[in-house]
Structure 1
Amino acid sequence: MRKYGLAIAVVLMALNDSLAQFGRRTPEQDSIFARLQRQTRADHQNMMAQLGIKALRPGVSGNPQDANAANRDENKVNSYTLPDPLVLKNGKKIKTPQDWWQKRRPEIVEDFEKEIYGRLPPHIPTVQWKVVSSKDTVIANLPIKEKILRGVVDNSSFPSIKVEIELLVATPRPTTKPVPIVLEFGFIQSPFGNTPPVMPIGLGSAGEPTWKEQLIARGWGYAIIVPSSIQADNGAGLTEGIIGLVNQGKPRKPEDWGALRAWSWGASRALDYFETDQDIDAKRVAIEGLSRYGKATVVAMAFEPRFSLAFIGSSGAGGVKILRRVFGEQVENLASSGEYHWFCGNFIKYAGPLTPSDLPVDAHELVALCAPRPVFISSGSPQVEGQWVDAKGMFLGGVYASPVYRLFGKKGLGTTQFPSLGTPLVEGDIAYRQHAGGHSTGPNWSTWIAWACRYWGECKYF
């Protein structure tokens, strides 16, 4: 019951704004939400106390009418200097892939782990995958095999916390050999009924098949992993989930992992399962997600070398957007009690007393950690999605990662000029497209699939 109650509370917290807007929140939901807020603020204050921080700079507002509105004007963007991903801390420039793997990449990984996303604990409990159900069914008249699995985490070291990772896997039927698969951070039918996402994830464009239909029609499979079944999406849950289990219910220390790293760890455990499934080609697995799950997608791709491709949707700040760039959401927002749980505690200090310019790394180096594997950066239009996620800032994350791809003989974005809406930059191993829709990867799925065919092949329809 402890696990289920927390999961329900997570959903309520995520949907608070929409429930309040339409008047559907019950007194019980109000009570749960208020409790979560109190616990989150207390945990946030605990971390600030550990860091010796008395106050943080306030974040900007997404409402352009507010006095502290986020910058939306390119003419007001600050000047900044980024760390060079090809220059060692001793000032020497690396010149070979071997130097990248042996010298520069470890430096960048260390900075991201210590200052932004946190370190994986040395001993994380094992996961045992169990098939809950398996059935033959159809999607858009295409036959598939659909399985629901639970990844049961060994909690013998602290039995009061239970973690079961929820995973759905669908592969086309019939198949003559293992198929590629796309793993999405998303939502599936849960014990609590249909759990709606925080934002629309993976919706199809008007007149287009859904992302699932497009993949199955290609002869590929799809999978969905539920992040909240790994780690709650709030600070109140940091003493539960996989983080709480490892810490035996105690609060985090400043270098401990946050939710983004925990979610990406869960995606790696799904990969472990894929390697045992005869229907899946575990050498061709892509990772995809939107918004906060777009952040988790690039983190998973950066730290898990087994992922073949990435589809990073509107990840914004904390994802592939340049953090030093003053446009849209800022570090101060990420370090607030609403979002700090995505990161390690040390990250909070860059909202006071330090600044984003003091960060030893920035988002372009997170993209660079994915090299030489291909990544596709997706965004919506400023008119529909808005400018909070900073489409150009995400584009620049790809631009400044390109030199590392070229070090491997690969092709980066191929331009430093921000493209017009709808222009696909898909000739390189870093790809980018800003679609005309809203906060969704949906309108970019067909472009991503065509781009992915260059790497995976087998692109004929049934």
Structure 2
Amino acid sequence: MLIELFKLELLHRQASDRPPTQILAILRAASGAPALECPTETANPSIATKTPLLPDPFEFLSGAHVASKEDWTCRRNEISQLFQQYELGVKPGPSQNLQSDFYHYQNGTGGNLTLTASNGDQAISWTATIVYPNSPKHTGPYPALIALDLLTVPVPDGVAVITFFVSEFAQQDNTTSRGKGLFYELYPDTSPEAAGALIAWSWGLSRIMDVLTNSSDTGIDPTRVGVVGCSRWGKGSLVAGAFDERIALTIVQESGSGGAACWRLSDVENVSVNGADTVQTAHEIVTENVWFSTEFEVFASEVDGTQRLPFDHHMLAGLVAPRGLLVIDNLGYEWLSPWSSYGCMTVARQIYKALGDQQAMGYTEAANHTHCQFPVEDQGAELDAFVGKYLLGEQSQTDVFRTEANFTFDIAMWIDWEAPDLS
């Protein structure tokens, strides 16, 4: 049965020729920011001065400091807008029309969810697969993990798996993939703020969440949904969790630079820690693929250019807070920036600590193993704990933050701010 979910006015607009304050206003509307008493005038970010330190997530662009959870909500909106303007591209609001059709498999094991989104005469359709838990002791509505393209962790007992084929939604073969895929058929946009593949995937996942929220046909509980991806899809899972607050658990597996690693720290690790050009950096990423916006290339192509950004990826992880976040890393691949990821997430956990739920964020960095081949014996218990707590409603212990490496990270060398107590 075809179900019409809603009709909304298109929020996405061209912003390339507008001054920064107007761009931020457009981004605020597109991101669906909560109707709070946030400052109406947003200061322009300072991007002229380079600093190797990781920026303060608790200081507004205006210079004011976050002093409450309400302040953090406003600052979170500001950070979201900055990431969209300078790194990821704009995430549009919902399409004018969204419809869905769920085809149940005859054997009762799941079904195919087909979505059709349209703006005026322009329409796209895509299909996600849903597989229910293979256990008679579990009945729906089920919690679910949305896997980007493929699932690389064990299927948790009692949890459905939704596979979202993101590579057809926004292609990412190489730098010639820019603007190719279903998303760009619906949102043809060549402005500097045009969406990179990661934010395009995030938009598609949000439409799946719209369907799960507004229709019971799928048999999925929309309040218990997580997202998971590995490598480039790990970058995508972090962006998806950061930009949709309905995601209860974000699992980021072996994502490296552009994911759990901080741009600034990866540059340092590439030269100082390894002594050779063996770590993926922003400069390399923009010559490899189209995960990020064209605007980001300005910073990535300049020597130490990412030091001009008014954010780094500790703040992207902070957009997930205080919801569940588990970062799974692998020491066996220097290319994945293991020291940068550990240090970046060490700083990101300060945001969770400030919000009074440090245990909602976990980090586990295991010894060498094949890329994206999950070591159950080493990290399985930690995965089970987070899935149990955030998707199955169990009383799990999620206070995990560890690396099996012999390196250390001196947080005092990389930040000049302290996390406030907002709890």
Q: Which residue of 2 aligns with 1:342?
A: 291
Q: What amino acid is aligned across from residue 230 of structure 1 in structure 2? A: F
2:124 match: 163
Q: CA deviation at 1:395?
A: 1.9
The reply on whether 1:434 has 2:383 as its aligned counterpart is no
Cα distance change on mapping 1:345 and 1:446 into 2, 3 Å: same
Q: What is the alpha-carbon distance in structure 1 between the residues aligned to residue 149 and residue 357 of structure 2?
A: 31
Q: Secondary structure at the match of 2:263?
A: coil
Q: Following the alignment from structure 1 to structure 2, what is the Cα–Cα distance between the partners of residues 149 and 369? A: 28
Quote how far apart the aligned CAs of 1:220 are: 1.9
Q: Secondary structure at the match of 2:328?
A: strand
User: Does the CA-based 8 Å contact 1:82-1:362 persist in structure 2?
Assistant: yes
Q: Does structure 1 residue 86 correspond to structure 2 residue 18? A: no
Equivalences for residues 121-200 of structure 1 within 5 A: 121=92, 124=95, 126-132=97-103, 134-136=105-107, 145-154=109-118, 157-158=121-122, 163-172=124-133, 174=136, 175-187=138-150
- Of 400, 406, 411, the residue aligned with 2:353 is 406
Q: Judge conservation of contact 2:321–2:352 (CA < 8 Å) in 1.
A: yes
Q: Corresponding residue for 1:3?
A: none
Q: 1:236 to 1:128 in 2, by over 3 A?
A: farther
Corresponding position: 1:358 with 2:308:
yes
CA distance in 2, matches of 1:150, 1:267: 13
Q: Report if aligned partners of 1:131, 1:148 keep a CA contact under 8 Å in 2.
A: yes
Query: Unaligned regions of 5+ residues in structure 1, if any?
Result: 1-46, 48-78, 137-143, 188-200, 204-210, 412-427
- Distance in 2, matches of 1:458 and 1:402, equals 22
Looking at structure 2, the residues matched to 367 and 221 of structure 1 have their Cα atoms a distance apart, in angstroms, of 25
1:101 equivalenced with 2:73 (yes/no): yes
Deviations 1:97-155 (A, max 9, x none): 111112x212211210100001123573544222355132xxxxxxx612122223337
The question of 1:330 aligning with 2:281 is answered yes
1:220 matched to 2:159? The reply is yes
How far is 1:393 from its partner? 1.4
Please tell me whether residue 280 in structure 1 is matched to residue 220 in structure 2. yes
Separation in structure 1 between the aligned mates of residue 199 and residue 360 of structure 2, nearest angstrom = 24
| SS in structure 2 at match of 1:164 | strand
Query: 1:322-357, CA deviations, whole angstroms, 9 ceiling, x for partnerless residues?
Result: 101223111101221x21x21111100013346111
TM-score by length of 2: 0.71
Identity percentage of aligned residues: 25
Equivalent AA in structure 2 for residue 430 of structure 1: M
Count residues with an aligned counterpart: 325
Separation in 2, partners of 1:240, 1:155: 18
Query: What is the TM-score of this pair, normalised by structure 1?
Result: 0.65
Q: Aligned in 2, Cα 1:459/1:95: closer, same or farther, shift over 3 Å? A: closer
CA distance in 2 between partners of 1:342 and 1:176 (Å): 38
Distance 2:208 2:389 in 1: 25
Q: 1:115 to 1:374 in 2, by over 3 A?
A: same
Q: Distance in 2 between matches of 1:360 and 1:118?
A: 15
**How many Å separate the matches in 2 of 1:219 and 1:352?**
46
Q: Which residue of 1 aligns with 2:328?
A: 378
1:299-323 deviations in Å (ceiling 9; x for gaps): 0111100000111011111112010
Amino acid across the alignment from 2:171: A
For 1:243 and 1:105, how far apart are their aligned partners in 2?
A: 26
**1:390 alignment counterpart:** 337
Distance 1:157 1:456 in 2: 38
Distance across 2 between alignment mates of 1:125 and 1:293: 28
Aligned to 1:258: 196
Distance (whole Å) between structure 2 residues aligned to residue 93 and residue 116 of structure 1: 24
Provide Cα deviations, 1:17-43, integer angstroms capped at 9, x if missing partner: xxxxxxxxxxxxxxxxxxxxxxxxxxx
Query: Which residue of structure 2 aligns with residue 452 of structure 1?
Result: 387
Distance 2:143 2:92 in 1: 31
Q: Distance in 1 between matches of 2:355 and 2:93?
A: 31
> How far off its partner does 1:183 sit?
0.9
CA distance in 2 between partners of 1:403 and 1:290 (Å): 24
Q: Secondary structure of the equivalent of 2:352?
A: helix
**Distance in 1 separating the partners of 2:73 and 2:152:** 34
2:127 partner SS? strand
Q: CA deviation at 1:360?
A: 1.2
Change (3 A) 1:454 1:257: same
Helix, strand or coil: the match of 2:336?
coil
**Structure 1 residues 442 and 163, CA, compared in 2 at 3 Å: closer, same or farther?**
farther
Q: Distance in 1 between matches of 2:365 and 2:256?
A: 13
Q: Which amino acid aligns with 2:390?
A: Y
Alpha-carbon deviations, 1:408-462, whole Å to 9, x = none?
2111xxxxxxxxxxxxxxxx211011233221162244421223323344669xx
Q: Any idea what SS the aligned residue of 2:84 has?
A: helix
Superposition CA RMSD, Å: 2.5
Contact 1:125 1:246 in 2 (8 A): no
Q: Is the 8 A contact 1:243 1:257 kept in 2?
A: no
Separation in 1 of the partners of 2:326 and 2:185?
Answer: 34
Give, in whole Å, the separation in 2 of the partners of 1:365 and 1:458.
27
